[in-house]
Amino acid sequence: MKESSLPFDHRADPELGAALRAALEPGDPAPFVARVLAQARLARARRHEVPTWDILARWARAGITAAAAAALVAGFAMGRAIQSRATPDDVMVASAGAGANALLSSPRAPDASVVFTSLVERDR
Amino acid sequence: MRTDPPPQLPGGVARIPQRDEAELAARARAGDRAAFGTLVERFAPQARRVARAVLQNPDDADDAAQDAFLSALVKLEQYDPRRPFGPWLMRIVANAATDRRRRRAVRQAEPLEPELAGGGSRPDLEAERRVLGERLRAALAQLPERRRLAVVLFDVEGYSHAELADILGIPEGTARSEVFHARRTLRSLLQDWKEEG
């Protein structure tokens, strides 16, 4: 053991080191190592284990997403349907044939043959 | 960071090559249990001694060392493989031990048995060692915690002043000073013990 030491002495003191090592020696390492590894396995298993509430929460999230997507699709389809619905003016323009004129200008209830004729004219 | 890497630790235990440590850490991070097991086996004695320097009680020290290994396993992605593994791990160990000491009421070092404290008869070598060990532990317990850690990390575990500074989060000059003051106290105790003999 060195009797004196400078503050900047960069060498370890072997005698003091050995005495301290003996004083702090923890004993057989095997049980400690086994304990740490067992705890590590447990911790890993706990990390991989998903709690029931998490599963339910995940389902709820998926359900909400699916409902939102369905609502979006339905809204889009309804919007398209409303946009594509023909107005009376469109019918008038499209049905410019004689059958249609007769149907709209007659004061009596339409005859089925007249309605059919106007439809056939429109489809031509 | 280390400027003067000692080839061996003071106790004659060879240092683990840094590349080996980095590889083991990378494998452990990827989930290789055997690699983590190897790291634990290699660093367990050192981690337990360092924890004991802070906590004195061996059971508490083992609990802290275990906490540190588990914490290191979780934090492995933060480890920089270009640097040595030991100082990184010892920083976690020192923090775990300090946290545990703060959480619990500090257990004072148990009083020495009268025949040990009084330098009584020393029937055999084993008893002599036991006496010295008790005295050193009691003397360590009187030192400020950082000083305790500094001398154990430097003189027992063989870390450099630069590594000490890194582990303890203090300037290198302060690390040197802590080692110096701790040594002065402990050497005087060792000297007294020798003279008694």
Alpha-carbon A71 to chain mean position: 15
Angle, vertex CA A75, rays to CA A71 and CA A78, nearest 5: 140
pLDDT tens-digit readout, B122-164: 457 778 888 889 999 999 999 999 999 999 999 999 999 999 9
- pLDDT at res. A50: 60
HSE-up (13 A, CA, CB side) for residue B191: 10
Contacts of B61 in chain A (CB under 8 A): 26
What CATH class does B123-197 carry? mainly alpha
pLDDT band of residue A103 (cuts 50, 70, 90) is: low
Question: What does the DSSP 8-state code read for residue A26?
Answer: -
Contacts of A34 in chain B (CB under 8 A): none
Architecture, CATH, for domain B13-106: Orthogonal Bundle (1.10)
A16, B150 Cβ separation under 8 angstroms: no
**For chain B, what are the domain ranges?**
13-106, 123-197
More confident residue, B141 or B12: B141
A37, A26 Cβ separation under 8 angstroms: no
Percent of chain B with pLDDT over 90: 64
- pLDDT at res. B28: 93
Evaluate if residue A57 carries a pLDDT over 60.
yes
* Pick from A35, A48, A26, A27: nearest CA to B37: A35
The whole-model pTM stands at: 0.66
More confident residue, A91 or B77: B77
- pLDDT at res. B172: 95
pLDDT band of residue A40 (cuts 50, 70, 90) is: very high
Evaluate if residue A3 carries a pLDDT over 90.
no
A18, B49 Cβ separation under 8 angstroms: no
* Pick from B146, B182, B181: nearest CA to B164: B146
Question: What does the DSSP 8-state code read for residue B153?
Answer: I
- pLDDT at res. B100: 93
Return d(Cα B19, Cα B65) in angstroms, integer.
Answer: 24
- pLDDT at res. B171: 96
Mean pLDDT over B102-113 rounds to: 58
When mean pLDDT is compared across B31-45, B96-110, B156-170, the lowest value belongs to B96-110
Question: What does the DSSP 8-state code read for residue B14?
Answer: B
More confident residue, A34 or A86: A34
* Pick from B50, B72, B46: nearest CA to B60: B50
Among candidates B44, B155, B187 on the partner chain, residue whose Cβ is nearest the Cβ of A12: B155
> Measured on CA atoms in the order B149, B154, B159, B160, is the torsion positive or negative?
positive
> Measured on CA atoms in the order B102, A28, B158, B129, is the torsion positive or negative?
positive
- Give the ipTM: 0.79
Supply φ then ψ for residue B15, to 5 degrees: -70, 150
Question: Average pLDDT of chain B?
Answer: 84
Q: What is the enclosing helix (H) or strand (E) of B184?
A: helix B172-196
- pLDDT at res. B131: 86
**For chain A, what are the domain ranges?**
87-124
Locate the chain B residue with the closest alpha carbon to A28. B45
The reply to whether residue A35 touches residue B66, judged by beta carbons under 8 angstroms, is yes
